[in-house]
Chain A
Amino acid sequence: MNVLAAFDWQYIWDHRGVLFDGLVVTLKLAAIGIAGAFFVGLLLGAARAYRIPVISQVAGVYVELIRNTPILVQIFLIAYGLPKASEFFQFDFFTVACIALVVWGGAFNTENFRAGFEAVPFRYREAAYALGFGPIKTFLNISLPIGGRIALPSSINTYVSVFKNTALMVAISVEELTNVAKQSIDLDFRTWEMISVLAVTYLTLVWTMSALIRLLERRLAIPEER
């Protein structure tokens, strides 16, 4: 196996600097995307579950539009289409990437949180009202802790997808990990080295996150009612 024999560890070591910088950008994008998706999903998911007029309908349309179109098309629309509509939408491509990830993850998370909040039995909230809790307090003390726990596994799945989607930013030349690796492939043709780095890095992070879901699922499982 010549490929294995020719595998150049030194090449990877020599490029550790750029690869690390790429990984940092990837993680930054993922962190912003995940945090944004969390807040968008939480707010719009609550609005959907409790049928807050106007916001609920708008959120419904937003969710369907985003879930039924490819994220790559959304990225190009934000990067090249929107700036033509108004100067206001003129962003650098890192910002475009963040917006695209938040908009995409937020749509999927809205559904996760909506399902979570709707799964909270009505009698729990009834009990809170009976104890004199207002709607806000009921949400914060009853619906959020229980519904949030129900929504957690599916929302982590969405976060894993948001993380994987950072690799798509290679299409708009954001200097994230996949792009850095591809650039060095284009220059030096050390394909196996770079693809291995990509595969190992992404799989390690994705598998860690999936293991975390299983752990959390067990830890946070709501005890069976008897």
Chain B
Amino acid sequence: MNWFYQRLPEWAQPVAEYILEVGLKYTLIIASISVVISVVVGVLLGTLMTINFAPLRAAIRLYIEVWRGLPIIVTIFLLYFALPTLADELHLGLISEVADPLRASILGLGLWGSAQIAEATRGAVQSIPREQHEAAAALGFGWLGAHANVILPQAWRRLIPPLVGLSVGVIQNSTLASILGVPEVLEAANQQTNALAVPTVDPTTLEITGGDSHALEIYLGIFVLFFLISFPLTRLAAYLERRLAV
């Protein structure tokens, strides 16, 4: 990456290095773990939702509508501020640890993402014709075996485009972690503009230097950075949607 930093003006070199090496790392950590949680929980709930058992369906429906309906930042606040008080009451040490800004953000995005994926999975599983279920049953598969070996591998095709779309959404919404102070790309940029805005005084000559936040260049920089990550993914999602259309 050195060839890149060297082409920047002097003030921008440490800024770019911090945003790309600390900020981008956190953004990718948040986004990747949230996507994994979303897929695991979402596919499970979405598949369970196709079982014809009203209370279970209603419970999953409620889960989906709540986490899709709340602004994600409210979900993150819920996990960060409110959940630990409840966990302390119930002596659940494990949950009180969620009160870490990073974990609360990841989990908040995971709840939102899993609601999206659950809805997509439900649609995908229901789109598989009845005969496939019957054929699986005829081969001696139980519910679990039929879904793992016959239904989900076929439903998967329909799940790929929404999954790529979700990844874009999660990457973009990972910026919400900045509100709790996690140093992902946006918060890294905030920290750098704030630091640059403080002028430095030379102790011997009393000469004041700096004091320019460079906010325009820095925020435009991360705007471009997010665009470069998202744009290929949204193109890919659109392409896959056409390509995998059934």
Q: Judge whether A199 and B74 touch: CB under 8 Å.
A: yes
Which secondary structure characterizes the binding site on chain A?
helix
Choose the segment among B37-45, B130-138, B201-209, B211-219 that binds chain A (4+ C-beta atoms closer than 8 Å). Answer: B211-219
Return B35 CB to nearest CB of chain A, in Å.
16
Q: Judge whether B216 and A68 touch: CB under 8 Å.
A: no
Any chain A CB within 8 A of the CB of B111? no
> With a CB–CB cut-off of 8 A, which chain A residues contact B186?
70, 72-73, 76
Q: Judge whether A195 and B176 touch: CB under 8 Å.
A: no
Which size class do A's interface residues fall under? 35 or more
Which size class do B's interface residues fall under? 35 or more
A210 to B69, CA, bound (A): 9
Max chain B C-beta neighbours (<10 A), residue from A3, A74, A83: A3
Which secondary structure characterizes the binding site on chain B?
helix
Q: Judge whether A68 and B66 touch: CB under 8 Å.
A: no
Any chain A CB within 8 A of the CB of B85? yes
Partner pick for B222 among A73, A170, A178, A210, CB 8 A cutoff: A73
8 Å CB interface, B204-238 against A: 213-216, 218-220, 222-223, 226-227, 230-231, 234
Choose the segment among B75-83, B114-122, B147-155 that binds chain A (4+ C-beta atoms closer than 8 Å). Answer: B75-83
Any chain B CB within 8 A of the CB of A124? no
Q: Judge whether A167 and B71 touch: CB under 8 Å.
A: yes
Q: Judge whether A167 and B74 touch: CB under 8 Å.
A: yes
Any chain B CB within 8 A of the CB of A143? no
Q: Judge whether A192 and B70 touch: CB under 8 Å.
A: no
> With a CB–CB cut-off of 8 A, which chain B residues contact A70?
171-175, 186, 226
Beyond the given pairs A70-B172, A74-B223, A192-B86, 13 more chain A to chain B contacts, judged by CB atoms under 8 angstroms and listed by A's residue number, are A69-B223, A84-B213, A170-B179, A178-B77, A181-B77, A192-B82, A192-B85, A195-B74, A199-B70, A199-B78, A202-B74, A206-B70, A207-B65
Listed by A's residue number, 13 A-B pairs whose Cβ atoms lie within 8 Å are A64-B231, A68-B234, A70-B172, A77-B223, A82-B216, A84-B213, A84-B216, A85-B216, A168-B176, A178-B73, A181-B77, A198-B77, A202-B69
* B residues with CB within 8 A of A: 65-66, 69-71, 73-74, 77-78, 81-82, 85-86, 89, 168, 171-176, 178-179, 186, 189-190, 193, 213-216, 218-220, 222-223, 226-227, 230-231, 234
